Every structure is written in C-alpha cells, then in structure tokens.
Structure 1
Amino acid sequence: MDYDAAPPMPVADYRRVQMMIPGAEALYSCLRAVMDVSLPTGAEVLIVGAGGGREIEALAPSDKAYRLTGVDPSGDMLSVARDYVASTDATDRTVLVKGTVNDLEHGLRFDAATSMLVMHFFPDDGTKLDYLRAIRRRLRPGAPYVHADVSAADRAMFARLSPVVEAHGGLVGLPPEVAGAPGRHIGQMAFDGPKALVVPERRTLELFEEAGFRPVAPIFRSLWYAAWWAEAV
C-alpha cells in the first residue's frame, strides 16, 4: 500500500485528529514515564509509525538521552517528524527510515519499542500478529514495549461512544467535519472475524502473548483509545 498516495489521514490533519483523544498529552506522558523508569541512559528505542513525530517529541527531551530510530511507510508523515527533530538537540541521536520494521538493517536490536495508534489499520487475519512479531524480533529480551490502539469490546460499544468522541472534539475546538471524521472512518472498519481491524482488549492481550510479549499493565484508557505496557519475553 502506498501510504503517501492513500494516507489514513491527511498529513495536515495529524495534530488536529490527535486532539480527538481525551487526555492525549497524558497518553504520551505515560509512554515517557514507562521508558524513563525502565531504561538506562542512551538506550536504543524503536518507534514504529514515527511519522508525525509525537513519540519523538515525548522521548527526545528525556535526561536519558535515548537513541531513537523511527520507521514509517509514509514519506510525507516522516517529513513532519523530520522537521520536529531538526528543531531539537536530538538530531545526532535520531534516525528516521521510510518503510516498515522489516526494512530495518538486518541484525539491529533495540532496548525498547513503541507502536502508537498503528495496529488498528491491519486486519486480524494474521497481519496484526505478523506486525507484532516483527517488532518482537527487533527487541532484546525484557525490553519494554508501549502499544496504543483504538480498542472497543464490539461495534455496539463503539456506536455508543462515537457521539461522545464527536462531542469532545467540538469541546476542544474542532470543526464538525473534523470532529466527526474519525467516527465515520472507524465505523467502516470490521469489528468481527479475520478482517477485524478494531479488536477488544482481550484479543490485543492474546496477540501480545502469541507474538512473544508479556503484558505488564494497561496504562491509559480514554473513550475508544487504550494503551498497554508489555515486555519482550
């Protein structure tokens, strides 16, 4: 799939769409806190889906001076991350790669990884599991992994929450066409069977374990959005 020709969202809307997540700043603060507690200074962190730069923005200022490698299949989104990195003192310890985890140099291993709001774009027909296994293969045993995703028990829960998410978007100042866009997009996704894009928490935890991760704890929940801390086994 060409993520520049057919992006999941317009690049210009990236920050505005993230405003749909109530407590988005808390989500990224939780990511930073897990890493700061778990990792030594200079740890190598893999950021999957790094386009937009939000994870880099959260981790680069840490006193731990992490060495960051970000991958994203969208060159347009990576340009946003690259512009942010250029404004920081982290340019010499940040590498951005257009592609997927499988495109990274063979043999690279990391001390930690993140995947923030990426996996719900993949069906549960083995693609989600392959995605997680690819990340796991790049990690050292015991490495922390922070994963955030759209998560709902079923379509009925999603339907009940959708107008709340849209109302929240209005409260934070988004115009109606933007506040309603995520619900329209996610509402077209499958919730059941092998083509399911949105899966419940129990399925996410099953996928973690199948891929070689040990769930540690949920660290964030806000309407449709959830995040977990796991470790590579």
Structure 2
Amino acid sequence: MPISKDKCADRRAMYRELQRTMPGLDGMYRLVHALIAGCDEKTSAVLIVGAGGGRELEELAKGRFDGQITALDPSAPNLDLARDVASDHGSSLDVRFLVGTVDDIPQGERFKIVTSLLVMHHLRDNGAKLAYLKGLRDRLAPGGRLIHADVCFDEFEDLDRLAPIYLAHADIFGVSVDATRLELDAIPNLPIISGTRTRVLFSEAGLTEPFEIFRSLWYRCWTSSRAPK
C-alpha cells in the first residue's frame, strides 16, 4: 500500500536534511544531471538504481529531461517517495517505477545511462559488491555510461580527521543535529572500501577505470563504461 502524502512529505524532508549535512552534495546531483543532458542521444533510456527518495528525478525535472527513465529501488516505501517527487512535476518526466534490484530488470534491456548513487556502500565486499557492479555493466547499452557514487575512504582513520570539518559545516549552516549524528553514527557500520579497492572491483566487473568527477569529505562520484573485450 502506498504511503500517505503527509508521510511522504515527512520522509522527503528527512532525506533532504540528511543531504544538507554533506557540503556540496547538491553539486554532485547537478553534475549527474549535466552528464545525462550531455548524452548524444536526447531521448536516451536512463536507469536510476536506488531511486528511492527521488533526488535524481527532482534534478532531472528541472531540465525538462525528455528521455525514458526507469526508477528502481528494492524498497516500495522509498520508491513511493520517488513517485511523489515525479507527481510534483506533473507529466514532465516519463518514468517507469520498479520495485526490485538490478537482477529484476528484464534480460536484454539496456540503458544509455545507468546511475548508482550512494548504493554500493551498503553491500558487503564478500562478492556482493562485485556482483552488483557486474549487474550494472550488463545493463549498459553499447557506448553507455555508468555514473557511480559511494562513501569512500582511502584510510578509515580519515573519518576522525574529516568529522570535525563536517560538524563545523553543519553548525555554520544550521543543519539539524539529529541529521548530522545519524550520518556519523551510520558511517562506521557500513562496509566501506577504499578508492583503490573500488578500482580493482571495477576492473574485475569488466568496467573501465573509474574517472572521479566529484569528492566532498567521504562522498565520491565516478564515471565508467563497459571495458573493451
């Protein structure tokens, strides 16, 4: 059963406040929008993995994106938030909503752009991350682009050095204390990997060397594509 409008609004507000805790994170979503808009084919098919919350849809709606979008998330309540975002923009977006994982995308269906923003750091590095990246690769059309963002540390001790900067930013810009604490409490419990390990997994998954386009504290974003055989 879809969640109510009021609950959607409350959860959207929570998501946005969490995003405000990270300096410059809105800029990452704008860069993703620019990469999608710069695609050669104006009506390209786009797959948004982990679309719950609707942040990618919100950004694409600003630019009147006219391609076909598949919004995928394993959580039905989270996907309701994305639906709520899309409905706020009327018929400006052509979106298909799917509850599930990458494996639930029909075999043979390919996309010019696949986005995976802040998803993989929830998966353990016991084969799950590699399988996930292979699934993303398999959904890329020839010449397609993967846009991938993750929480990432070169050394986990970096958190101790970066946390005071993060807290100072939150204090200066009036970010909720509860939101900042939620972020800091979650980080140590995530199966985070280094940039070096990320590059190894991309190679093993049959993807090109990831090219970093964004970094803010422990958030990073890369682009990649299918590696030549």
Task: Quote the Cα distance in structure 2 between the aligned partners of 1:170 and 1:72.
Answer: 32
- Identify if the C-alpha distance between structure 1 residues 92 and 38 changes in structure 2 by more than 3 Å, giving closer, same or farther: closer
Match of 2:200 among 202, 206, 209: 206
Q: What is the CA distance between 1:101 and its match in structure 2?
A: 1.0
In structure 1, list runs of 5 or more residues that go unmatched. Answer: 5-9, 190-196
1:223 is aligned to 2:220? no
CA contact (8 A) 2:207 2:225 kept: yes
1:180 is aligned to 2:181? yes
In structure 2, list runs of 5 or more residues that go unmatched. Answer: 4-9
Q: What is the CA distance between 1:160 and its match in structure 2?
A: 1.3
Q: What is the CA distance between 1:50 and its match in structure 2?
A: 0.3
Percent identity of equivalent pairs: 36
Paired letter, 1:227? C
Task: Quote the Cα distance in structure 2 between the aligned partners of 1:132 and 1:64.
Answer: 26
- Identify if the C-alpha distance between structure 1 residues 39 and 20 changes in structure 2 by more than 3 Å, giving closer, same or farther: farther
Q: What is the CA distance between 1:106 and its match in structure 2?
A: 2.7
Q: CA RMSD in A?
A: 2.0
User: In the alignment, what sits opposite 2:67?
Assistant: 66
Task: Quote the Cα distance in structure 1 between the aligned partners of 2:93 and 2:212.
Answer: 33
1:35-114 residue pairs with structure 2 within 5 A? 35-62=36-63, 64-90=65-91, 93-114=94-115
Task: Quote the Cα distance in structure 1 between the aligned partners of 2:15 and 2:202.
Answer: 27
Q: Which stretch of structure 1 is more off in the superposition, 62-71 or 111-120?
A: 62-71
Q: Which stretch of structure 1 is more off in the superposition, 127-136 or 162-171?
A: 162-171
CA contact (8 A) 2:48 2:69 kept: yes
3-state SS of 1:47 partner: strand
Q: What is the CA distance between 1:232 and its match in structure 2?
A: 2.1
Structure-1-length-normalised TM-score: 0.86
Q: What is the CA distance between 1:227 and its match in structure 2?
A: 0.4
Task: Quote the Cα distance in structure 2 between the aligned partners of 1:216 and 1:203.
Answer: 11
How far does the alpha carbon of each residue in 1:87-120 deviate from its partner, in whole angstroms, 9 at most, with x for none? 2244661011111111122321111100111110
Task: Quote the Cα distance in structure 1 between the aligned partners of 2:168 and 2:180.
Answer: 8
CA contact (8 A) 1:18 1:24 kept: yes
Task: Quote the Cα distance in structure 1 between the aligned partners of 2:36 and 2:61.
Answer: 11
Structure-2-length-normalised TM-score: 0.88
1:158 is aligned to 2:152? no
